[in-house]
Amino acid sequence: MNTHGPTISADVVQHVARYSLLDALRGRRSRRFGRGMSIDAGPLTYASRHAPQPLTELEEAILAFAACGITGYDLADLAYGPGQGGSMLAGLVGRTVGSPDAINAVSLVVTNDEATYLLKRPQDFTPAEIPDVIRLAQQGDSLEAYRRSRSKIRNGRSAPPVQPGYNFNINKWSLYARGGTYFLPINSMTAAYINVLLEAFEPAMGLFGFDERNFFRPAGISRFAKSKGGPLDDSLSGGRVFTVQAIEMTLVESIGIEQGMLLQNIALMTQAMGLGGFPSFARHEYGWFEALGFRMGSMPGSRYVGASRWMSFILRLLGRDQPYPYPLGLECDGEVLLKPYCPPYYPSMKAAVEALVEYKFGRSGVYRSGEGEWKDPTGVTSQVAPPSDVAIAATVAYCEYLYNRYGRFPVYSAPFRTMLGYQVTHVDVEFYDRFYRPEALTDTQREHQARWHNSR
């Protein structure tokens, strides 16, 4: 990354600010070939005559703000009366992308040739820091917001291998190119999961969960079943039942949508700035997490995929039940940067559930901090009731059942997941002029070097 770069005039930043959303939508394309890159075979064989050109810190900062910058307080215009579900909202600080229940489940890693960073989510700032971060956004100071938001994970670029098993051959020639910046969203599953359960198990909603891996028996919540005098509707005809797999796959899809918005924002800003870039496959159970230095756990592969005891025995007998790594959390220089709501970062699932309730309704929690966009934030939030005792107890029972039986939480996924990433580079205009019609590039790509770097 070029930290300083040429002096950028205010006009350049204003050009981006004035760029039409419709123009960005019309001009958005994957433009993979950047300065310093080469294609070694096939009809598009070409070697750039330019050296790799890193993004400047300002270029990265604007892209990072577009991806998931903090913008202000959520409106939180919900019904907060008893049984209305308003308290399911888990945050009051908004970003450039929406998030289910305002949980802000997606973190962003930024990696380039010089360093790898993790950007803070709203919940990673102290309440006292939030107003200043919002002020920087409102003033358009993306660079200072970027500097305050990032935590350095390590020197140099972080990335897993590109060979098959980690990625697809279509990406081998271009991924992690020198000079490029790679943006990697990381989905965090546990807070959203517990938050959903706390609402699902409220008597006013009364959902009931079955474990399809355990012959569709109740998932640790038998004593809460309506058939046993409890508040949760376990009748199959009531339409209020779910399976562990169903709720976890819904969770994966919901957080995936949040990640998709983040990637689309990067793509649109890439177009507005005249840079090149493309989304790429980044789905691997542990490849990225090992590359980033996550704390890793391990369990036999048979247990990880939920194989039967008989199948697990056969695999062990054949010597094929190999250990399977998965991410637990991210720590750097003694500081925990990303941790899930589950062991080993909490002594039990009970403690994890109680920690999320405390995060929302504790003395300095989301609903007790006196913050928000309302005229009388304290007057509003003080009337928002915490989860009922029965909802908390059922959530604890469900979560402890899953963790004790399957050894992790969630069951079908590790606490963290990667899916797609986005690489941004400086476009090699000459490559596109050689092989493509003129309209393959817009004026923003053709003018980027002169406008941003005082060069051609």
Q: What CATH number is attached to the domain comprising 280?
A: 3.40.109.10
Q: Quote the CA–CA distance of 7 and 56 in Å, as a whole number.
A: 11
Q: Examine residue 5 and state whether it is found in any structural domain, yes or no.
A: no
User: 315 in a domain, yes or no?
Assistant: yes
Global pTM?
0.95
Q: Within a domain: residue 3?
A: no
Instruction: Report yes or no on 181 lying in a domain.
Output: yes
Given this model, what pLDDT does residue 9 score? Answer: 65
Q: Dig out the tokens for 290 from the structure.
A: 């090992």
In this structure, is residue 4 part of a structural domain?
A: no
User: Do 149 and 133 meet the contact criterion of CB atoms below 8 Å apart?
Assistant: yes
Q: Phi/psi class of residue 437: alpha, beta or left (left: φ > 0; alpha: ψ in -120 to 50)?
A: beta
The number of folded domains in the chain is 1
Quote the crossing angle between the two packed helices 10-18 and 443-453, to the nearest 10°: 160
* Predicted local distance difference test score (pLDDT) of residue 312: 83
Residues in a beta bridge with 154: 116
* The residue to which tokens 């969960």 are assigned: 209
Burial call 278-312: b when 16+ CB within 10 Å, e when fewer:
bbbebebebbbbebbebeebeebebebeebeeeeb
pLDDT tens digits along 96-142: 999 999 999 999 999 999 999 999 999 999 989 999 999 999 999 99
Residue 1: inside a domain: no
In a domain, 369, yes or no: yes
Bridging pattern class, strands 208-211 and 217-218: antiparallel
What single-letter amino acid sits at 55?
L
Q: Which residues contact 93 (CB under 8 A, 6 or more apart)?
A: 70, 72, 73, 74, 102, 104, 122, 130, 134, 371
What is the pLDDT at residue 344? 97
Residue with tokens 């005792």: 389
Q: Which of 380, 395, 411 is nearest to 89 (CA)?
A: 380
With respect to residue 295, please indicate whether it lies within any of the assigned structural domains: yes
> b/e per residue, 317-354, with b = 16+ CB within 10 A?
eeeebeebbbbbbbbeeeeebbbbbbbebbeebbebbb
Residues in the chain with pLDDT values less than 50: 1, 3-5
Three-class DSSP category at 167: strand
Evaluated on CA atoms 72, 78, 80, 85, the torsion sign reads negative
Give the pLDDT confidence score for residue 7 in this predicted structure.
Answer: 56
Q: Please give the pLDDT value at position 4.
A: 45
Range of the domain at 261: 10-453
